[in-house]
A and B are shown apart, each in its own frame.
Chain A
Amino acid sequence: MAKELIRLVNCQMAFDDEIVLDSINLYINDKEFLTLLGPSGCGKTTTLRIIGGFLQPTSGDVLFDGERINDVPPHRRKVNTVFQKYALFPHLDVYDNIAFGLRIAKLPEDEVDRRVTEMLGIVSLKGFEDRKISSLSGGQQQRVAIARALVNRPKVLLLDEPLGALDLRLRKDMQNELKRIQQAMGITFIYVTHDQEEALSMSDTIVVMDKGKIQQIGRPEDIYNEPKNAFVADFIGESNILDGIMRADRLVEFFGRKFVCVDSGFEKDEPVDVVIRPEDIDIVAPDAGHLCGTVTSVTFKGVHYDTIVDFKGFKWLIQTTDFCPEGSVIGIRLNPEDIHIMHKSEYSGMFGDYSSYSAEYDEIADPEYTEEEDDSESREEERNEE
């Protein structure tokens, strides 16, 4: 197992009595790709700034290789940062921006030249050496910022939404490129994003944050399949979240029916949140299902239909490739492994009800993605329908 590199112990951060980070406990292994994921204002940048040394936590410790580094200034930390707003030096051109760190480290000029040129190739900015920063587009500036940090071959790279300004194609390319560099150079990445898809596809570990607290830490699969609370379930993907009661280990009751599930370790008769992912639900004939409901709306989404079904006044989102017209009565079957049970939390009841569903997802990472890439498939599907 990789060894631990950075650890935050009970870190708290307050600005003028306003607590923006609350008892953060987190460890990051050497060569790990760890992503901080959460909505705007949840404290992602603040966490990065604490690791980078630009902020001192109000209380708590920051450990690097087991040593407390709270008081170590940024320039003595083996960490480089890609800033959210690039922070490129306007008085230097592209080349000199990238060479900045190497020259501070007093590397011989031919070595500097070799590494800067190599880096320019990696971020596809060959030929831009002499351009002024102000003459670059947002995406180009972002790539200069990545190059300026990476060229120093830091032990840890902090990236604050490094791909936010790139268009879809470039973003996909850079995602692959960053992941490749990270593995090839063996750098620990601490990556900030609010794009859940980016987080799921790139990370070894995801840290889901909200309101200055860590909601869940885990591998992408775990975060998706076993969310800890209603916030995580809703923020990562789409979820139907229902009130249920745990009747026994592996037996949950909701909508007045008992269902077999795979979760255990709850109190008997404990009220719980039940998560059912829209894509896990099987549609069957009304009399063959566990539950029976009426379709209230259907939206074509490309690979699937978003079908809203009313079950006794509670509306579910079902993603299915079968077209069920509005007004039809359908049955659904739930397999034990499709039902995920969570303890009640402060977020219970706030998410997972699609009664006010509109055709837009509430959290679309790439608006173009669903349209562009899925269009061809969907046309075919429609033809098959007929």
Chain B
Amino acid sequence: MKRFNFVFTVIVMLFLYIPMIVLGVASFNAGTDIAVFKGFTLENYSELFVDKTLIPLLLNSLILAVLSSLIATVLGTMASMGIHSMGRRMRSLTMGMTNIPLTNPEIVTGVSMGLLFAFIGIILKTQNVLGFTTLLIAHVTFNLPYVILSVMPKLTQMDPNLEEAALDLGCTPRQAFFKVVLHEILPGIISGALMAFTMSLDDFVISYFVYGPSFRTLPLEIYSMVKKPLQPKIYALFTLLFISILLVMCVMNLLQARDEKRGHNLTHKRRRNV
């Protein structure tokens, strides 16, 4: 049984990572045919870095991801504080409402956002509302639930007396948040921000309905290329992206593990003191 489980795990891992390996190998392939490896080369990478279109698009994507995840993190943390201070009934209702957009198909979110912006465009009597702002608004919107979802548990786990102790010692509510509460929920905020960043970086479906010609992102460009054969430098780009995301995820897991260890120590202590 144990052996079977091990084999099964290996198979699942292969399924998950073979495509990435293939991509990586292809990015170093001297030939253009995926089926034959014509020899190792870094040419695809050097081509990528002198490319006049891809790099600016990647920068666009990064700017959008950083900005939208930052804004979503701040707003989401504030919203979490608000939800946390609600009564029990209101809190579960609000949390339910926050969760629904997560399960909503992306395409539905995209279409409805597109409609909303079109509607606003009509009201404002302008042709081109769509652009960076609409993309940013859309990304912040779909990122918010992820932030709230990872900050809320930290708030519920926190000893409610901590904030009161800070107030008791003379902190204004604002100081109490920055000097005490923030430290307690920081792991949740960071993992929420990282999640938002990655979601935003690779989003195509929702972006597709709200972008305008003035500001395009990398995923939008790639999808428009799929009709034509992909250039090998795209493989190089994706390999780099994959590695960056992998690093981000590793950092996130590391943070989580450290946090769990701390929580574990605490409960352990408490049990001993009883």
Contact = CB atoms under 8 A, between A and B. Distances in A.
Contacts of A79: 168
A75 B167 contact: yes
A74 to B, nearest CB: 4
Contacts of A81: 164-165, 168
A58 to B, nearest CB: 14
B273 A54 contact: no
A271 interface: no
A134 B269 contact: yes
Q: Which of A52, A87, A149, A165 has the most CB of B within 10 A?
A: A87
B169 A52 contact: no
B169 A87 contact: no
Interface in B167-183: 167-173, 175-176, 179-180, 183
Interface stretch (A99-107, A172-180, A335-343, A359-367): A99-107
B171 A89 contact: no
B180 A89 contact: yes
B273 A74 contact: no
Given A83-B161, A87-B159, A89-B162, A73 B167 contact: yes
B266 interface: yes
A101 B175 CA distance: 12
Interface residues on B, range: 20 to 34
Nearest to B175: A104
A203 B161 CA distance: 26
B184 interface: yes
A9 B118 CA distance: 60
A152 interface: yes
B265 interface: yes
A164 to B, nearest CB: 10
Contacts of A138: 273
Contacts of B269: 134
Nearest to A81: B168
The SS class assigned to the B binding surface is helix
A138 B172 CA distance: 29
Interface in A83-111: 83, 85, 87-91, 100-101, 104-105
Nearest to A79: B168
A104 B161 CA distance: 18
Given A87-B159, A89-B162, A104-B175, A134 B168 contact: no
B170 A52 contact: no
B162 A165 contact: no
Contacts of A149: 168-169
Nearest to B167: A74
Given A87-B159, A87-B162, A165-B273, A75 B168 contact: yes
Bin chain A's interface residue count.
20 to 34
Contacts of B166: 89, 100
B161 A75 contact: no
Given A87-B159, A89-B162, A134-B265, A75 B273 contact: no
Contacts of B169: 75, 80, 100-101, 104, 148-149, 152
Contacts of A134: 262, 265-266, 269
Given A85-B159, A134-B269, A138-B273, A75 B170 contact: yes
Interface string A141-170: 000000011001000000000000100000
A53 to B, nearest CB: 8
A90 B184 contact: yes
Interface in B140-197: 159, 161-162, 164-173, 175-176, 179-180, 183-184
A137 interface: yes
A52 B171 CA distance: 14
Interface string A31-55: 0000000000000000000001110
B266 A87 contact: no
B168 A74 contact: yes
Contacts of B167: 53-54, 73-75
Interface of B: 159, 161-162, 164-173, 175-176, 179-180, 183-184, 262, 265-266, 269, 273
22 contacts: A53-B167, A54-B164, A73-B167, A73-B173, A74-B167, A75-B168, A75-B170, A75-B176, A79-B168, A87-B159, A89-B162, A89-B165, A89-B180, A89-B183, A91-B180, A91-B184, A100-B166, A100-B169, A101-B169, A134-B266, A137-B273, A148-B165
Given A89-B166, A100-B166, 19 more contacts: A52-B168, A53-B167, A73-B173, A75-B169, A75-B170, A75-B176, A80-B168, A81-B164, A87-B161, A88-B165, A89-B162, A91-B183, A100-B179, A104-B169, A104-B175, A138-B273, A148-B169, A149-B168, A152-B170
Interface of A: 52-54, 73-75, 79-81, 83, 85, 87-91, 100-101, 104-105, 134, 137-138, 148-149, 152, 165
- Which 6 A-B residue pairings sit nearest by Cβ, starting from the closest? A87-B161, A138-B273, A101-B169, A87-B165, A91-B183, A74-B167
